[in-house]
């Protein structure tokens, strides 16, 4: 864990010393480049990590600004190390422990009294790069200013969501998450369900990214049961204490070494014959089954509240399991206030950011209706938690309410609503919408007035798919930008900027032969993005998460991009048998051309081949830094560690461009590689096909892409217009869309979520 924390600090550009016994730190650093998922944004950022021997190099603590203790979860071991660290501590140095549930105050007792004011718990969830949660656990001795410093630094520099927890066993996320896991196991065994049946309902269906047993295999059963044992040992008065006692089959799994993926076997295992699942009653493996449950399939695509209600209404064993699990987690969480936190907000954030729940426990109470759940609890003989009684008695019967200025949460101490705290500088487009500063809107997007002469196009449709509604609002935004605004931001509050075009609509139009309508829609998209690209006033994209296909093209068209560090950007159209045709192919060629001075004669093929492979293979960046390496982001584009801040940072970039007197660039000729380069790319494709690396249809698509990227039937080094390249990419796109094998790829992706290699 320590090496992965060091890796994320390196991602943030922080020079880090990693200390361990003997040569272990050197070995850990070497492993960072091989781990999946990659802990580093780019392999080369590990240059910021200096490994050392804790026995020989501990004096380096004296020169550090922040010391993070991340040794084994054992109180005496942690205290012994901090006792040694205290000898080198200097005023101003912050010390934190990365314990996942040991008493932070007891750990800090090993430090000198003066150092304790600079000490607190800072629990990174694993893996630190990908898990947003950072739980902060101050002790009574901690200086509040130190806690505030770590919170601000974790938010801004490390991109973390900060949760404040009390110094209780396993804090917030692990306390509730471990209860949820073991309650699921106990219920499963009581109802005679299988591993596959439980996982069919406890993952995304119940609003949790990972299903129960699949997640346990990833975490490691030994780790999960160690956390549970700690809770059982240190929570003698917990009304649900027995839930934390591991069932006998799980203890036997640990004894046999069936810990999950790290040992090759857990609740699931892979064999040459396929994936097998464990029968917990016999502790034998059998081929995995995929249960088909009618009510689950019928509700799978519905909003979370409707999925949960479907579970409440189902009368079979799996339905009883799902409702009882949800019910017991909601009740358990409500009974933990004020034990683990004084407010509901930190609990909900801990579960969303630490376990990737779609909604936290108290948000789930609201989704189902607090009164409705309370009525069901009464009918089932389950006592109502005092906090829920207070909500029903003293408030509007909800844990949260929305108002024009933002979100407010029920405060148990005062029985009133208080604004949900946000770190300074975060801009929520949804809050702007609720304040009434809406200039135009439809189901896909809204045009908003952000103030100070800056407007925003806010995407908010399903997956932010780009359709006619998106284009309508973008056109309105560009029109208003010309007349009355100084800059425009394009962004979203969603985790993903855009998954691209609406493929279902494209397929339907193609199958109905509506080629004129498709041509017009594509021309409209191209024309709008050309207006974005060459507008005399700045347009800034604020992107995060999946930024794919048409979404990537929209970002590439903007003169500036502010990207969250976790941005997965790529032109992926070839995966469905198409090429980028929303100015994306043209922009890739345009950027290559601009890298070479007009009066320099240079062979374009080496640069072109690299760019061609990037697009033809539908490569998607695994970070914003890699997107820059792929040529999708420029040096002038900004990378923001915290995805919650991309919109506000984009607004600041737009404001600074206005102050600097930004003037857009008019369209300019583009130098292309011509027919000789196309022949070389086609030969490259042929070699890949004959070697079995691509299919015959991949070659067809690749040849169309090569034709556009080299400028069509023109000599080497020719200068062509942007409009000419746009015409080429549009013609290639529509031609490929008419191909049966492209339509097969699109249909397969829509039906299965996986690409088809036909």
Provide the CATH number for the domain around residue 41: 3.40.50.720
Contacts for 456 with CB less than 8 Å, ≥ 6 apart: 429, 432, 447, 448, 450, 477, 488, 489, 490, 491, 647, 651
CATH code: domain of residue 685: 3.90.226.10
Q: pLDDT band for position 317 (50/70/90)?
A: very high
| Residue 464: φ, ψ to 5° | 50, 40
- Token pair of 484 as six digits: 């009355």
Same structural domain for residues 543 and 617?
yes
Separation CA 357–CA 348 (nearest Å): 9
Helix (H/G/I), strand (E/B), else coil: 40:
coil
Strand partners, 454: 451, 487
Give the mean pLDDT of 22-42. Answer: 96
Same structural domain for residues 395 and 514?
no
Helix (H/G/I), strand (E/B), else coil: 606:
helix
- Give domain status of residue 754, yes or no: no
Q: What share of the chain is helix, strand, coil (3-state, %, to 5)?
A: 50, 15, 35
Contacts for 581 with CB less than 8 Å, ≥ 6 apart: 522, 526, 573, 729, 730, 732, 733, 734
Min mean pLDDT across 180-189, 603-612, 690-699, 718-727 is at 603-612
Strand partners, 698: none
**Omega within 30 of 0 (cis) for the link into 505:** no
Q: pLDDT band for position 333 (50/70/90)?
A: very high
Same structural domain for residues 581 and 701?
yes
Question: Minimal CA–CA distance to 29: which of 43, 157, 37?
Answer: 43
Give the mean pLDDT of 354-368. Answer: 97
Query: At residue 578, does pLDDT exceed 80?
Result: yes
Neighbours of 288 (CB within 10 A): 17
Residue with tokens 């369209």: 667
Q: Which helix (H) or strand (E) holds 489?
A: strand 487-492
Give the mean pLDDT of 412-429. Answer: 93
Query: At residue 674, does pLDDT exceed 90?
Result: yes
| Residue 336: φ, ψ to 5° | -90, -5
Q: What is the pLDDT of residues 474-496, one digit of tens each?
A: 999 999 999 999 999 999 999 99
Strand partners, 51: 18
- The reported pTM is 0.94
* CB environment 145-162: b (16+ within 10 A), e (fewer): ebbeebbebbbbebbbbb
Quote the pLDDT of residue 436.
85
Query: At residue 259, does pLDDT exceed 80?
Result: yes
- Give domain status of residue 172, yes or no: no
Same structural domain for residues 558 and 698?
yes
Neighbours of 597 (CB within 10 A): 8
Helix (H/G/I), strand (E/B), else coil: 549:
coil
Separation CA 308–CA 311 (nearest Å): 5
Domain extent at residue 433: 429-742
DSSP state of 352: H
Same structural domain for residues 553 and 608?
yes
Q: pLDDT band for position 462 (50/70/90)?
A: confident
Give the mean pLDDT of 499-503. Answer: 96
Query: At residue 473, does pLDDT exceed 90?
Result: yes
Quote the pLDDT of residue 512.
96
Same structural domain for residues 271 and 317?
yes
Quote the pLDDT of residue 596.
85
- Give domain status of residue 673, yes or no: yes
Same structural domain for residues 415 and 452?
no
Give the mean pLDDT of 335-342. Answer: 98
Same structural domain for residues 503 and 532?
yes
- Give domain status of residue 125, yes or no: yes
Separation CA 276–CA 356 (nearest Å): 26
Neighbours of 728 (CB within 10 A): 24
- Give domain status of residue 713, yes or no: yes
Same structural domain for residues 81 and 152?
yes
Same structural domain for residues 459 and 608?
yes
Q: What is the pLDDT of residues 595-639, one digit of tens each?
A: 888 777 778 888 899 999 999 999 999 999 999 999 999 999 999
Q: What is the pLDDT of residues 275-313, one digit of tens each?
A: 999 999 999 999 999 998 999 999 999 999 999 999 999
Query: At residue 461, does pLDDT exceed 90?
Result: no
- Give domain status of residue 589, yes or no: yes
- Give domain status of residue 614, yes or no: yes
Quote the pLDDT of residue 601.
74
Same structural domain for residues 104 and 23?
yes
* CB environment 13-30: b (16+ within 10 A), e (fewer): ebebbbbbeeebbeebbe
Q: What is the pLDDT of residues 693-717, one digit of tens each?
A: 999 999 999 999 999 999 999 999 9
Same structural domain for residues 520 and 395?
no
Quote the pLDDT of residue 405.
75
Select from 370, 396, 419 the last residue of a domain.
419
Sign of the alpha-carbon dihedral angle for 288, 313, 178, 351: positive
Quote the pLDDT of residue 136.
99
Q: What is the pLDDT of residues 87-98, one digit of tens each?
A: 999 999 999 999
DSSP state of 607: H
Crossing angle of helices 304-313/361-368, nearest 10°?
A: 70
Quote the pLDDT of residue 138.
98
Per-residue DSSP letters for 293-326? Answer: -HHHHHHTTS-HHHHHHHHHH--SHHHHHHHHHH
- Give domain status of residue 342, yes or no: no
Give the mean pLDDT of 661-665. Answer: 95
Quote the pLDDT of residue 598.
76
Number of structural domains the chain divides into: 3
Give the mean pLDDT of 569-579. Answer: 98
Percent of the chain with pLDDT over 90: 94
Give the mean pLDDT of 644-657. Answer: 98
Q: What is the pLDDT of residues 380-409, one digit of tens each?
A: 999 999 999 999 998 789 999 988 778 999
Q: pLDDT band for position 47 (50/70/90)?
A: very high
In sequence order, what E strands does 133-173 have?
A: 133-138, 161-164
Q: What is the pLDDT of residues 530-561, one digit of tens each?
A: 999 999 999 999 999 999 999 999 999 999 99
């Amino acid at each position: 864990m320590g090496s992965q924390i060091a890796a994320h600090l390196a991602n943030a550009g922080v020079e880090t010393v990693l200390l361990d016994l003997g040569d272990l730190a050197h070995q850990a650093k070497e492993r960072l480049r091989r781990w999946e998922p990659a802990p580093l944004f780019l392999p080369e950022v590990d240059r910021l990590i200096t490994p050392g021997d804790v026995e020989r190099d501990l004096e380096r603590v004296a020169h550090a600004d922040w010391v993070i203790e991340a040794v084994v979860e054992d109180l005496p071991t942690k205290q012994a190390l901090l006792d040694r660290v205290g000898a080198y501590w200097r005023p101003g140095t912050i010390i934190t422990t990365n314990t996942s549930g040991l008493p932070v105050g007891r750990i800090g007792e090993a430090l000198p009294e003066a150092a304790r004011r600079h000490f607190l718990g800072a629990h990174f969830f694993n893996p630190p790069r990908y898990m947003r949660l950072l739980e902060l656990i101050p002790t009574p001795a901690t200086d509040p200013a130190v806690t505030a410093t770590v919170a601000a630094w974790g938010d801004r520099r490390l991109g973390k969501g900060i949760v404040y927890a009390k110094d209780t066993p396993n804090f917030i996320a692990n306390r509730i998450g471990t209860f949820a896991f073991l309650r699921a196991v106990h219920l499963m065994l009581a109802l005679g369900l299988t591993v596959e049946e439980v996982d069919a309902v406890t993952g995304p269906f119940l609003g949790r990214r990972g299903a129960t047993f699949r997640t346990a295999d990833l975490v490691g059963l030994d780790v999960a049961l160690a956390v549970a044992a700690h809770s059982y040992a240190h929570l003698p008065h917990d009304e649900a204490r027995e839930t934390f006692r591991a069932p006998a089959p799980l203890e036997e799994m640990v004894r046999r070494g069936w810990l999950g993926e790290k040992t090759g076997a857990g609740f699931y295992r892979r064999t040459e014959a396929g994936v097998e699942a464990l029968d917990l009653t016999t502790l034998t493996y059998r081929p995995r089954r995929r249960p088909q449950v009618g009510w689950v399939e019928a509700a799978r695509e519905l909003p979370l509240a409707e999925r949960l209600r479907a579970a409440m209404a189902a009368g079979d064993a799996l339905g009883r399991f799902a409702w009882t699990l949800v019910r017991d987690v909601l009740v358990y969480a409500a009974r933990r206030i004020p034990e683990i936190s004084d407010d509901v907000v930190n609990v909900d954030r801990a579960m969303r950011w630490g376990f990737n729940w779609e909604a936290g426990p108290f948000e789930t109470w609201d989704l189902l209706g607090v009164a409705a759940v309370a009525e069901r609890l009464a009918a089932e003989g389950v006592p109502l938690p005092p906090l829920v009684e207070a909500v029903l008695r003293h408030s509007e019967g909800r844990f949260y309410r929305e108002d024009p200025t933002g979100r407010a949460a029920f405060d148990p101490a005062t029985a009133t609503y208080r604004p949900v705290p946000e770190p300074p500088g975060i801009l929520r487009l949804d809050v702007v919408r609720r304040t009434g500063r809406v200039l135009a809107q439809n189901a896909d997007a809204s045009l908003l007035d952000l103030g100070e002469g800056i407007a925003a196009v806010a995407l908010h449709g399903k997956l932010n798919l780009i359709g006619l509604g998106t284009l309508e609002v973008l056109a309105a935004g560009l029109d208003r930008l010309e007349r009355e605004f100084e800059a425009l931001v394009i962004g979203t509050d969603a985790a993903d900027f855009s998954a691209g075009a609406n493929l279902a609509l494209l397929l339907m139009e193609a199958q109905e032969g509506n080629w004129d309508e498709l041509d017009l829609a594509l021309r409209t998209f191209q024309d709008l993005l050309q207006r974005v690209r060459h507008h005399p006033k700045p347009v800034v994209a604020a992107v995060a998460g999946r930024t794919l296909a048409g979404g990537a093209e929209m970002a590439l068209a903007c003169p500036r991009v502010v990207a969250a560090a976790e941005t997965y950007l790529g032109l992926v159209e070839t995966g469905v048998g198409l090429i980028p045709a929303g100015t994306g192919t043209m922009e890739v060629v345009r950027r290559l051309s601009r890298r070479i001075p007009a009066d320099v004669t240079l062979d374009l093929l080496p640069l072109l081949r690299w760019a061609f492979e990037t697009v033809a293979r539908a490569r998607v960046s695994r970070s914003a830094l890699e997107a820059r390496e792929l040529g999708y982001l420029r040096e002038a584009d900004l990378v923001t560690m915290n995805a919650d801040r991309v919109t506000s940072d984009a607004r600041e970039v737009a404001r600074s461009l206005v102050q600097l007197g930004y003037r857009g660039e008019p369209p300019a000729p583009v130098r292309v590689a011509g027919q000789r380069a196309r022949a070389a790319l086609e030969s490259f494709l042929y070699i890949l096909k004959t070697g079995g690396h691509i299919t015959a249809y991949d070659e067809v698509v690749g040849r169309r892409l090569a034709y556009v990227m080299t400028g069509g039937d023109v000599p080497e080094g020719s200068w062509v217009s942007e409009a000419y390249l746009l015409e080429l990419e549009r013609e290639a796109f529509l031609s490929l869309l008419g191909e049966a094998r492209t339509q097969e790829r699109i249909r397969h992706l829509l039906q299965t979520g996986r690409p088809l290699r036909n």
